[in-house]
Structure 1
Amino acid sequence: MDVNKVVKKPGRSWTEIKRKVYTFSMGDTSNPRLNEIHELLEELQIKIREEGYVPKTDYVLHDVEDEQKEQNLSYHSEKLAIAFAILITPPRTSIKVFKNLRTCVDCHTFVKYVSEVISRKIIVRDSSRFHCFEDGSCSCKDYW
């Protein structure tokens, strides 16, 4: 990749709430509510694991231990955006997140479980299509 000057576009996700756009990327620490977002993601991980969620680390390309792969997956940009939207919107409100890349298998599975656990409709627009998650299923029927 270096020789051919191939550059991977960084993943970014954003959500618009009350006419204000909030942007997220993995590793970004600029959001003042980042600690709350991380705490909520940890709580959601516990809840959805109880429902049967297992992180999909098969597609993580970094040569690291499985525990580190799970940690890396935990803070993908769409997960951060969804957690933030959950924090600042009223219960039962639909959440809309946009992403510049195609969503990964783990994030897709994560959002299906979260939609069921928090009883909210979550709409994610990735680079390929709209995904409407509701009650633990996705409008793409897991084909994206």
Structure 2
Amino acid sequence: MDDRGRLEGFLGIDFSFGEKGHYHMSQERYTTKILRKFKMENCKPAATPAGKGIQLLSNNNTETDDTKNYPYREAIGGLLYLMTATRPDICWTVSKLSQYLNNPGKPQLEALKRWFRYIQVTKHYKLTFTQSRGNLTGYCD
């Protein structure tokens, strides 16, 4: 192991260091990349990740042209990485959407697009860690 200086970025995660020993982890650049990839960078913002009374039921019907041509699995994969790295606040919504990877229907696609509208507003969110007097201990397997 060697010291390569202050960490600024790693695997799509940006690190910054603030006042009073605060450390920040964010994925704003990664989020912008996802929004651009799925053509949602200019979408209308949404204040919440899901609409009121949303019903995501199993899609027993065959896929429609909208759902068949949309890269649903790829979108969920990108959101899963975002969720596990820096956005625990979106865990429930993403895990719910991931239950329909085999056969997403129109409600799932609409919910996914609503979610993209939510991260458009919240892409600046970050995890903040503060210094403590204790020792930092790391474990690996």
The TM-score, its normalising length taken from structure 1, stands at 0.27
- In terms of fraction of residues, the more helix-rich structure is 2
The TM-score, its normalising length taken from structure 2, stands at 0.27
Q: Which has the larger radius of gyration?
A: 2
Bigger RCO of structures 1 and 2 (CA < 8 A, at least 6 apart)? 2
- In terms of fraction of residues, the more strand-rich structure is 1
